[in-house]
Amino acid sequence: MSSYLLALAVTDFDFNEGTTGRGTRFRVWSRKEALNQTLYALESGIKALEFYENFYDIPFPLEKQDMIALPDFASGAMENWGLITFREKYLIYDSRLYSPLQKMRVAIVVAHELSHQVCIQILRTIRDSNNKCLDHHNL
């Protein structure tokens, strides 16, 4: 793992949890006040991860995947290994409060960030298959 992908979070946040079909524990963390608005992100994340695993026929390498909604996060999102960080507005959705555009935005950003996790695994699989053109990279 590259050092820039390391993330730690010390918060008093709560989480919603689910599991993928292959058994990966999936959690979405947020402020207690926004917790009910993370259910769509959880559903989208599980579906996206299952899609990538099936499409590429490569199992997700981690036992768990967490996503966290940060109210004061400067970036839009960051694909930290096992703990994807999001600006809160890119991870929360409630049909009573937000437009369908926000729902689509959550699904797109979640799928995009999870694609980074899966692409890292694909490149590792290629490297481990002794593909010499990638051996000089620190994947």
Q: CA-to-CA distance for 11 and 29, rounded, in angstroms?
A: 9
Active site residue 113: yes
3-state secondary structure of 51: helix
Looking at residue 15, its amino acid is F
Helix residue spans in 27-95 (DSSP H): 39-56
Q: CA-to-CA distance for 117 and 127, rounded, in angstroms?
A: 16
Which residue out of 43, 53, 79, 113 is catalytically annotated?
113
Q: Which residues are CB-neighbours of 86 under 8 A, at least 6 positions away?
A: 67, 68, 69, 70, 73, 76, 77, 109, 113
Query: To which H or E segment does residue 100 belong?
Result: helix 100-128
- Active-site positions read 113
